Structure 1
């Protein structure tokens, strides 16, 4: 599978390691080049420095036609926007990590449905 992960923090970098070990082609995006450096040194993943909420950065990372986009930055709104953009650009499946339960609670306002995000995880 071709997978793009947004956010090279603890969750994103761990997910990248696991997915690379399972022979998936992984690209990871982060604003901070220093945060990407240990990933580049330790696993066979492509890295892109930039704001994953920008369409041009998502296109550079190969989101168009990727099998999975995982937005796992530390900002819920960035993750929601990134996943929605990713779906529009052509990601087959999208996952947005959110910290605030109200974003993931589909009994109220269904952000996943409105923004066409496949999975919201909290």
Structure 2
């Protein structure tokens, strides 16, 4: 704890720790950003419910519609649940699809650095 000017102490602020998942989609069709984001959110909601949806905090950071790959962010302590939700997806919209996680990292930079070396 650090002293404040008023003489009291303030509690330290804890940053939320995140994990970033690089994934790709294998499916019958090409999917849009909105379709993918909706499918991910619906999957978490179906498996875990509203309370866990807010705890997992899934957020589609970027998605390339040409390569059908993207980066997803979630809370670090719920990475296992996020991966299970992605594995649970068998269709997006009306088309069959599967999402596969390629890598997980604590920073977007290291995920992108891995793209350059691969």
Which TM-score bucket, shorter chain as reference? under 0.3
Which is higher, the Rg of structure 1 or of structure 2?
A: 2
Does 1 or 2 have the higher relative contact order (CA < 8 Å, sep 6+)? 2
Give 1 or 2: higher strand fraction.
Answer: 2
Normalised by the size of structure 1, how large is the TM-score? 0.26
